[in-house]
Each structure stands twice: as C-alpha cells, then as structure tokens.
Chains A and B, each alone.
Chain A
Amino acid sequence: MTNTIDPLLAHPGQELSANAETARTTLQGMWAVRLFEEAVDSLFARGLMHGTMHLSIGQEASAIGASAALRATDFITSTHRGHGHCIGKGADLTRMMAELLAKQTGYCRGRGGSMHIADAATGNLGANGIVAGGIPIAAGAALAQKMQGKDNVVMCFFGDGATNEGAFHEAVNLAAIWQLPVVFVCENNKYGMSFSTEKSMHVEHVADRAAAYGIPGVRVEGNDADAMYLVCQEAVDRARSGNGPTLVESVTYRWKGHSKSDKNLYRTKEEIEEWRAKDPIVQFENKVIERGVLTREDVDAIAAITRDKIRVAIQEATTAPDSDPAELLSSVFRAVQA
C-alpha cells in the first residue's frame, strides 16, 4: 500500500489555479507538505521524534509549483529543508514518516533521517545534509541524461545560503559550458541560518548570479504556486529541448526557525508576521475560489483528505519495526556481482 499525494497535474502555459484538476493536485501537494511538517513539529515537541529537522512551512508553493513542471522520469536533488521536494516528486508519506521515526521501513532504513530522504523510484536522488552538496550531483545526473540520449531533466533545489558555496559556482559553470538539462531552483528564504542575503551577497538578487555563467536568471514570487510553475515550466522546457540550464530564484520565507536550535534572534516578529500574511496555501485557496474553479467545500475537503493521509502515515510508521543494527556492517558497500 502506498500513501502518496496524487501526481501533480499541470497544463503547460496555464496557471495551476485555472483548472479544477490542476488546482486540486496543487492544493493537495501544498497541504501535504504543511501537514506533514506540522505533524513532525508536534511529534518532536512531544519528545516522540529524535534528531533534528528543518521545516519548510511557508515555502510550500515553491516546492510544489516547481515539482508540477516535472515528469515522473525527471530527477531532483534536494536539501536539508527537503520534505516538500520529496513529497512533490511523489514520495510515500508513510515511508518518509517512518524514516523520521527511525524505523526499518523508512526510506533510508533509519540510517539517514530527515536530511537524507532519497527515492530511486520517483527520481529523487537525495536530500543532502551538506549545504550545496547536491548541486554538482545534479549537474552530473544531467550530464548523464545528455550522454545517454534521454530527454529527462534534473531539477536541483538549494537555498540562498548555498549560492555562497564554491560547489554552486563550479556546478553551475559546468552545467552552462556543457548546456546540461538542469534547472537550478534557489529557494531564497532570505536567510542561511541567521545570516541574511543582504549580508551574504554583494549583488542584489541571487538570480543576478546567473549572468556570471551566461545562463538565464529569473526571479519569481515563490509563494505563488502559479508563478512558480510557469517559470519552472519554461526553464524545464528550455532544459529538455537542449538549451541548457536556468537559475530560478524563488523568493519565499520560512515561518519556523532554521532548525530546532533557533531562537529567532536575527529577525523581527513583524517580518515573520508580514510573511505569514502571504501564506501560499491561503493565497492559492482564495484565488481558486474567487476564480470559481473550486468551492470552499472543495478546498476544505482537499485539506481533510490530506490530513487523513498524514494520520495514516503516522499510524503506519509508528507501528513499523525499529531500524535494525544487525545489518549495518554489511550495508556500507553494494555487493560486487561475481
């Protein structure tokens, strides 16, 4: 039994909110991210979850809008703040929850936790605990698509902070000189932990950095799932048709602290409130209701169905067997075929 969101539907060139089916899957995706993370936050607060995690609450439209531009055969690389990307690509919510709950049935058999969810079946090449660690990997996976004559695209997610790592610059340059089918999606939530983009960069926008590599750089309202989808769709098309990479800067904001240790000393309550008012889910719901695409009852039902999926994920994951130390030593290497 799988427990996933419905595949994200989209019609190229059309806003996700313009059509009942695409609006429904988009909303379900965003709710799944929000509710999954709220559940995780609460499990953690109650001492039922171990370790650490990075929540993307407030950034749901960015992950889901971008993912809507992808095909099932496309690939992603993700980050420490990656639950949204994994869910958007079709990860099983129960296996994700099981991983966070340190269970044998989790995506990484309890060896990775929140920061390392990968899912070969859905083309998720892995979240990453190293800031910018996934960016060169995405370029390489895109190189492989090109060498293998496939028309798959790699979507590479990372934060604003990651664009100050050498890995970002080396990888974007490689993708540019080789015109690789990769879309670099920088989710600019204004901070790398406590350090704001105003302090960490001497250019105004992350998207400006694209000019250094001779590729298009596009800034988009990341809390608007429609805008996010349309910009990413264009970038995905460009990549798929052999015209190389794009740097998409998704302007968004995380409501919660960086991780569990955050006391929010570097930002104001007003700033957080300002962004809470730009709730990507509420915005999208209001828009589809105003457009007459879905009714209030429809959107409430979508939230309720998604809530059930998360409830099932917690139930199933909680009763799963704990991860097994007995197999650790034999799991470091893949066995060599004789």
Chain B
Amino acid sequence: MSNRIITYSEAIREAIGQAMEADPSVFMLGEDIGIYGGAFGVSGDLYHRFGAERIRDTPISELGIVGAAVGAALVGMKPIVEIQFSDFTAQAMDQIVNQAAKIHFMLGGELSVPMVLRAPLGSGTGAAAQHSQSLEAWFAHVPGLKVVMPATAQDAKGLLLSAIDDPNPVIVLEHKLLYKTSGPVTEDAVRTPIGVSHVAKHGKDAVVVATGVMVSRALEAAAILAEKGIDIAVIDVRTLSPLDMGPIEDAARATGRVLLVQEAPKHVGFMAEVSARLAEGRSLYYLDAPIKRLAGLDVPIPYAPQLERSVVPQIDNIVSAVEDLMREP
C-alpha cells in the first residue's frame, strides 16, 4: 500500500473513480461536472473515463438534481451529487431535509437512501456572502443525515469512500481552500470510518477541537505555540453526525483546557454542541479553565480580503486564544 503526495481534489477524484470502477451503480450528477470538469475542477477527467451517462451534467436545478438522486438511490443506484457551492443547498433543502433524511425512518425502514451529497463550503476566496458560508450545523441538526468534513487529502478520499459505501444519505462538506492543498494519500481505496473523531496531534497543555480548514490552522498554531513552550493537542472532528466525543473527552481530561474552533458563525454553531456535551459530562470536573469557543463573527461573509479575513479565525487568532486559555487561573 503506497502513499503519494496528491491534492485534496485529486484525492476526491481518485475516490470517485475507484468507487465507480468497483461498482456500476455509483454515478455522479451535478452542474458542469462533465466536459467542464466541475466548478472547482474536482470531477476533472472523470467524464472522459466514464462517459456522459455516469458523469451526468445537469441543468441548474439543485432541487431537481438532489431529488433525482434520492429517487435513484431508492431503487438501487448510488448517486454522488455535486452541488457547486454548499450555499446552493438552500435550493435543495426539501429533498435533503424532508426527503432523504427521513425516508428510512418515516417510511418504516424498508427503503433507504444511499446518496452522497458533496459540496464546497467556506470562505477565503473573495466570493462574498452567498458563496462562502459554512452551513454544516444546518445538516448536523437533522436526524437522518450523516455529515462529514474532511480536513486532509487522505480523509477527503477515505471519508468519501465510506460515504459511498454507507446505506444512508451522507453530506460531505469540502473546504474550498483545501482543494489545492496536498498530502500523502494511499493509492488503495482505504476508508476513513464515519463517526470517529481523530487525534491530529497529541499535546499536554490544552486541546484545540476543530473542523475543516480550522484543523490545519490549529496545527500551524500548534507549531507556533510549541516555540513558546505550549504543547497543544488538536482533534479533527471529521464527522459531525454522528459525533464521536471519545477523543475530545479524553483530551479535555488530560489537558484540562479546551478551545473549540470553527469557521462558521459562533451563534448556535456546531461547537456549541461540543461545548454542551463537555459541560454535561464528567469531563467538566477535570477542567482548569472554562470551555472557550473561537468562531466566525455573526455576520455574513464580506467581500474585501481584509474584511473577509477579519470575520473568520486565523492562525494568529488561534495562537492568542490558546495563550488566553493558558492564562486562566
């Protein structure tokens, strides 16, 4: 089993290609995923490898596309829907929330919807408020959806492969800024399990819990903090639903200090759930400082680069937040 350095988007493309080779029921549908290669270039050459039937270009009809995927999934296909920007899932919410998420439960358990919905999320590209949101909490709030946010190229491949295998609808939220980043990725179709949080770095002084692009920012912050003599652990949540609190609880107990970092606005965000679970559990007794959240400002994402940077956590914000946390009595 060999590793190469490839990009996050190449890793996603490789996962789709391997899944499509292995299983004729896997196919992809979305806007401009064919000859164009996808708005972010993720589908790339898949159209040339698998043809227009299985790399299926669609009209600009998000609700129709997701609904078609639900219907196809109900009768034995394994569709992978690409939504160009996760913001546009708003057009498709009925099919995601009222149909896909509920069919298995609401219709008594005979039917299920083995569908994957991939969509890029996040800011940092100057695309402004309608193309830059982090809406993961919307999906995580709906019973019946699994929600994953790969933070590395390996997990972009591994979580997607697990999502395709899964007999339930899985929302895969890919961060736009990660598409061009690279990392070691296994050539084989190695699965990253859904529902398992990952210790990205061990550390003894504090733990930073993060999702998506905030994982790499937390790791960079860890390097800076190490030079200052502060050793932090970093947990990559990877799967938001179902949530694995195990490694988070362990690290909270071991370090006594917890910083929760998300790009999305703080108010009613995903990390509020992590915070509540920590506070409700016995780990609370091990803490030396109150649980802290570092999150996006509660504003729409602005256009200007200096404005955009100022509304979501950057590496230096994480460094200072950890230093503040260490100063707590």
Which residue of the partner chain A has the closest CB to B97?
A130
**Pair B168/A334 contact, Cβ less than 8 Å:** yes
**Pair A126/B67 contact, Cβ less than 8 Å:** no
For B112, the chain A residues whose CB sits under 8 A away are 334
- Could you tell me the distance between the alpha carbons of A148 and B71 in the complex, rounded to whole angstroms? 13
**Pair B105/A331 contact, Cβ less than 8 Å:** yes
Number of interface residues of B (CB under 8 A): 45
Given the known inter-chain contacts A138-B71, A144-B71, please indicate yes or no for A334 contacting B59, CB distance below 8 A: no
For B63, the chain A residues whose CB sits under 8 A away are 136, 166-167, 170
Interface string of A131-173 (1 = CB under 8 A from B): 0010111111111110110000010000000000011001101
For B54, the chain A residues whose CB sits under 8 A away are 147
**Range of interface residues on A (Cβ < 8 Å):** 35 or more
Which one, B73-81, B217-225, B306-314, is touching chain A? B73-81
**Pair A136/B107 contact, Cβ less than 8 Å:** no
Q: Does B167 contact A (CB under 8 A)?
A: yes
- How many Å from the CB of B166 to the closest CB on chain A? 6
Q: Does A257 contact B (CB under 8 A)?
A: no
Which residue of the partner chain A has the closest CB to B242?
A333
- Could you tell me the distance between the alpha carbons of A314 and B66 in the complex, rounded to whole angstroms? 38
Given the known inter-chain contacts A140-B67, A140-B70, please indicate yes or no for A333 contacting B61, CB distance below 8 A: no
Q: Does A45 contact B (CB under 8 A)?
A: no
For B70, the chain A residues whose CB sits under 8 A away are 136-137, 140
**Pair A332/B105 contact, Cβ less than 8 Å:** yes
For B273, the chain A residues whose CB sits under 8 A away are none
**Pair B144/A174 contact, Cβ less than 8 Å:** no
Given the known inter-chain contacts A130-B98, A333-B146, please indicate yes or no for A125 contacting B67, CB distance below 8 A: no
Which one, A19-27, A57-65, A107-115, A218-226, is touching chain B? A107-115
Q: Does A106 contact B (CB under 8 A)?
A: yes
**Pair A135/B77 contact, Cβ less than 8 Å:** no
Pick from B75, B98, B107: contact of A112, CB under 8 Å = B107
**Pair A145/B75 contact, Cβ less than 8 Å:** yes
For B245, the chain A residues whose CB sits under 8 A away are none
Q: Does B64 contact A (CB under 8 A)?
A: yes
For B105, the chain A residues whose CB sits under 8 A away are 111, 331-332
**Pair B99/A133 contact, Cβ less than 8 Å:** yes
For B103, the chain A residues whose CB sits under 8 A away are 118, 126
**Pair A118/B73 contact, Cβ less than 8 Å:** no
Interface string of B86-128 (1 = CB under 8 A from A): 0000000011001100011111111110000000000000000
**Pair B98/A118 contact, Cβ less than 8 Å:** no
Given the known inter-chain contacts A139-B71, A143-B71, please indicate yes or no for A148 contacting B111, CB distance below 8 A: no
For B143, the chain A residues whose CB sits under 8 A away are 332
Interface string of A321-338 (1 = CB under 8 A from B): 000000000011111110
Which residues of chain B in 132-150 are interfacial with respect to chain A, using CB atoms and an 8 Å cutoff?
143-144, 146
For A332, the chain B residues whose CB sits under 8 A away are 104-105, 143-144
Which residue of the partner chain B has the closest CB to A132?
B94
Q: Does A203 contact B (CB under 8 A)?
A: no
Pick from A112, A130, A145, A337: contact of B99, CB under 8 Å = A130
**Pair A125/B75 contact, Cβ less than 8 Å:** yes
Q: Does A72 contact B (CB under 8 A)?
A: no
For A337, the chain B residues whose CB sits under 8 A away are 167
Q: Does A75 contact B (CB under 8 A)?
A: yes
Which residues of chain B in 48-70 are interfacial with respect to chain A, using CB atoms and an 8 Å cutoff?
53-54, 58-59, 61, 63-70
Interface string of B24-56 (1 = CB under 8 A from A): 010100000000000000000000000001100
- How many Å from the CB of B281 to the closest CB on chain A? 19
Q: Does B72 contact A (CB under 8 A)?
A: yes
Q: Does A265 contact B (CB under 8 A)?
A: no
- Could you tell me the distance between the alpha carbons of A142 and B105 in the complex, rounded to whole angstroms? 23
For B68, the chain A residues whose CB sits under 8 A away are 136-137, 139-140, 143, 171, 174
Q: Does B288 contact A (CB under 8 A)?
A: no
**Pair A147/B27 contact, Cβ less than 8 Å:** yes
Which residue of the partner chain A has the closest CB to B54?
A147
**Pair A141/B74 contact, Cβ less than 8 Å:** yes
- Could you tell me the distance between the alpha carbons of A174 and B59 in the complex, rounded to whole angstroms? 8
For B53, the chain A residues whose CB sits under 8 A away are 147
Known: A136-B67, A140-B74. 6 other contacts (CB 8 A): A116-B107, A136-B65, A137-B71, A139-B68, A147-B54, A333-B104
Residue numbers of A with Cβ under 8 A of B are 75, 77, 106-109, 111-112, 116-120, 125-126, 128-130, 133, 135-145, 147-148, 154, 166-167, 170-171, 173-174, 177, 331-337
The 6 closest A-B pairs by CB, nearest first: A136-B67, A140-B71, A170-B64, A140-B68, A108-B108, A137-B71
